[in-house]
Amino acid sequence: MQLSTTEHEQLYAILQQYDENPQVQRMREFIQHGDVTTYQHCKNVVRVSFWLNRRLHLHADETSLAVGAFLHDFYLYDWHKRSTFHGLRRLFEMHGFSHPGYACVNAQQVFHITKKEQNIIASHMWPLTFRHVPTCREAFIVCLADKYCAVVESMFRRSRVAAARSADGEDTAW
């Protein structure tokens, strides 16, 4: 799923203000899937979402799509340290169920995101978060892109060399 140079430039123009925020840069500190950081995972979801929208002619609002995809995991904690199971009563407190809410609150506080962007972030784990249903095409696209990226990142782990290269800033382009 390759984007053109022009598409990369368009994404950067949309997301530059978000990407330069120190809070967003903190996502580089946390591992999401395999060796992939939360920051890189969010960039992957942005690219896949943008590609799906363009190639399938889905006519989604590209700004909301990109912002929602980029901030969908803006929860800012190490979920590997918080995901112990404490019984069915506390099931919905586990990361898979709760992190969309944390990400949405953080995005609202830091960036004052739109209602559509809130829906994208809050519903990206649907159907797991069955009470938060995607209500716009952008949210459905990000929901699908997130699952695709999670599978690819988990099943086909990048090599340690590729992870080190990414950490050195070689994979900073949109």
Query: Tens digit of pLDDT for each residue in 140-160?
Result: 999 999 999 989 888 866 544
Q: Which residues of 71-107 are buried (b: 16+ CB within 10 A; e: fewer)?
A: bbbbbbeebeeeeeeeeeeeeeebbebbbbebbbebb
CATH number for 55: 1.10.3210
Q: Is 172 within the bounds of a domain?
A: no
Give 43's pLDDT tier (boundaries 50, 70, 90): very high
Residue 124 lies in a domain: yes
The reply to whether 173 falls in a domain is: no
* Count of domains observed in the chain: 1
| pLDDT of amino acid 131 | 76
C-alpha 154/C-alpha 44 separation (Å) is 13
SS3 21: coil
CA-closest candidate to residue 51, choices 162, 136, 172, 174: 174
pLDDT of residue 168: 45
Does 162 map to a domain?
A: yes
174 within some domain: no
Confidence band for 119, pLDDT divided at 50, 70 and 90: very high
| Long-range CB contact pairs, 99-104, < 8 A, 24+ | 99/73, 99/75, 99/125, 100/72, 100/124, 100/125, 100/129, 100/132, 102/75, 102/76, 102/77, 103/71, 103/72, 103/73, 103/74, 103/75
The answer to whether residue 15 sits within a structural domain is yes
Domain that includes residue 9, residue range: 5-80+89-167
Residue 47 lies in a domain: yes
Q: What is the DSSP string of 49-76?
A: HHHHHHHTT----HHHHHHHHHHTTTT-
Q: Compute the distance between CA of residue 105 and CA of residue 92 in angstroms, rounded to an integer.
A: 17
Assess if residue 116 is contained within a domain. yes
